[in-house]
Amino acid sequence: MQTADRAARVLELLRLRYPTRDTHLVARNAWELLVATVLAAQCTDVRVNQVTPGLFRRWPGPAELARATQEELEEVIRSTGFYHNKATNLLGAARRVTEAHGGEVPRTMAELVQLPGVARKTANVVLWGAYGINEGIAVDTHVKRISFRMGFTESTDPVRIERDLMALFPRDAWGDVNHMLVWFGRHVCDARAPRCGECEMIEVCPRHGVGEKPGAAARAPAKAPAKSRRGGKP
């Protein structure tokens, strides 16, 4: 099966599995989605959704958050992990959105990636989730893993993976492709124990790398040469 045909079939199956494709992060506007997405790095959506209501009650928007101290914000977001860096980035983003964009989260990739803590992945999530703009496909660990296993890319670089995926899927599906692949990675295509036996993709998935242990061959001890028994005791 050609890669393009495989991608079309995978998209069809993903849409059947996930008929509702809204993000699991609870956010009422672009700023809240940006904050939630930053906090979601190395953290579950469930935990983020437990933290953000209190955060937004205390600091409803970027102007309010820009006046917070590092220590105050760290205390509120501590349970999301990596709280020092996240607080630093969120405070920086709040100040820039307030000062440079009049309190409105930008609507372009070029402007979004200038915000502290916002790279292409977060920018893509915000553009699609808040504004319905498909600028690219957000690539996280789930998307990266599944894209390789499905044979959609041979790269490990998120930017190259994104380009490979954009060439395979229709533009109007890019935002949904990210959400569906993330959920599929959580529910079925686990990093350590993919549930291939119950996966509807088995008919088209080449399962690249599944069952392999990287570096196993290099770690395996060399076999000792067989000793000859010729001539009595070895």
pLDDT in tens, 98-122: 999 999 999 999 999 999 999 999 9
d(CA 137, CA 158): 10
Q: Is 176 among the catalytic positions?
A: no
CA distance linking residue 168 with residue 233, whole number of Å:
66
List where CATH 1.10.340.30 sits in the chain. 30-131
What pLDDT score does 212 carry? 65
Q: Where are the alpha helices (DSSP H) in the chain?
A: 3-17, 30-39, 45-58, 62-66, 70-77, 83-100, 109-112, 120-131, 141-149, 158-168, 174-187, 216-219
Q: In the chain, which stretches have pLDDT less than 50?
A: 214-234
- CA 175/CA 77 separation, integer angstroms: 27
Dihedral angle, C-alpha 97, 161, 183, 119, nearest 10 °:
-10
* Residue 163 near residue 149 (C-beta atoms within 8 A): no
Q: So what CATH class is 30-131?
A: mainly alpha
Q: Determine the pLDDT at residue 21.
A: 80
Looking at residue 151, its pLDDT comes to 97
Residue 210, token pair as written in the block: 């599944």
* pLDDT, tens only, 6-48: 999 999 999 999 998 878 899 999 999 999 999 999 999 999 9
Q: What is the mean pLDDT of the chain?
A: 91
- The CATH T-level fold of domain 3-21+137-203 is Endonuclease Iii, domain 2 (1.10.1670)
How much is the pLDDT for 216? 39
Question: Looking at this protein, which amino acid is placed at residue 56?
Answer: F
Contacts of residue 187, Cβ cutoff 8 Å, sequence gap at least 6: none
206 close to 199: Cβ distance less than 8 angstroms: no
Concerning whether 140 is annotated as a catalytic residue, the answer is yes
Task: Kindly compute the dihedral angle of the four CA atoms of residues 9, 10, 16, 22, in this order, to the nearest 10 degrees.
Answer: -140
Please name the residues in contact with 8: beta carbons below 8 A apart, sequence gap of 6 or more. none
Which one from 5, 45, 121, 172 is the annotated catalytic residue?
121
| Residues 53/81, Cβ–Cβ less than 8 Å | no
Which residues are CB-contacts of 38 (< 8 A; sequence separation ≥ 6)?
Answer: 86, 89, 90, 93, 117, 118, 122
Out of 5, 86, 140, 176, which one is annotated catalytic?
140
pLDDT of residue 211: 80
pLDDT at 220: 36
Question: What predicted TM-score, i.e. pTM, was given to this entire model?
Answer: 0.85
DSSP conformation letters of 189-217:
S-SSS--GGG-GGGGT---TTTT--TTHH
